Amino acid sequence: MGRLHSHRHGKSHSIRPVTPSAPTWVKQSPDEIGELIVKYAKEGLRPSEIGVKLRDQYAIPLTRQIVKKSVVRILEEKGINPDMPEDLNNLVTKALGLQKHLRANKSDRRNVRSLELLEAKVHRLSSYYKQIGRIPKTWKYKAVIAQLE
């Protein structure tokens, strides 16, 4: 599969384990892992940061293999899920940084184009999240609104 806005294929990445069974070295039960996820979410960590922390400190490679649910699904069940999905929030934050850069550097044409591509990704991802009901149907990305949030 190719990348969205480039001519490269982009197949280089790490590969997850094939086996759906839980690793033998993990000593925590699924309930303990769920409690750890909730604890870190209440501390203000995002789901990807929680996964990295579980991997590095507790040697839990994937929560889905052990708990049979993803980190986001566990947070949804506990009612701690953030308003905006993490990937959409990251794209909006990146667009804000790029807009700030372009206000200071008005003749930077290359980054004007990259801002257009980034905003296209935001619109595409937001339409998907509207379809599945993850964000409200009335949510709309506008550069001025994004600066205020």
Tens-digit pLDDT profile for residues 73-107: 999 999 988 888 999 999 999 999 999 999 999 88
**DSSP secondary structure string for all residues of 24-83:** TT--S-HHHHHHHHHHHHHTT--HHHHHHHHHHHH----HHHHHSS-HHHHHHHHT---S
**DSSP secondary structure string for all residues of 120-137:** HHHHHHHHHHHHHTSS-T
User: Which phi and psi angles does 73 have, rounded to 5°?
Assistant: -65, -40
Tens digit of each residue's pLDDT (9 = 90 or more) over 10-42: 777 777 777 778 888 898 999 999 999 999 999
Q: Which amino acid is at 148?
A: L
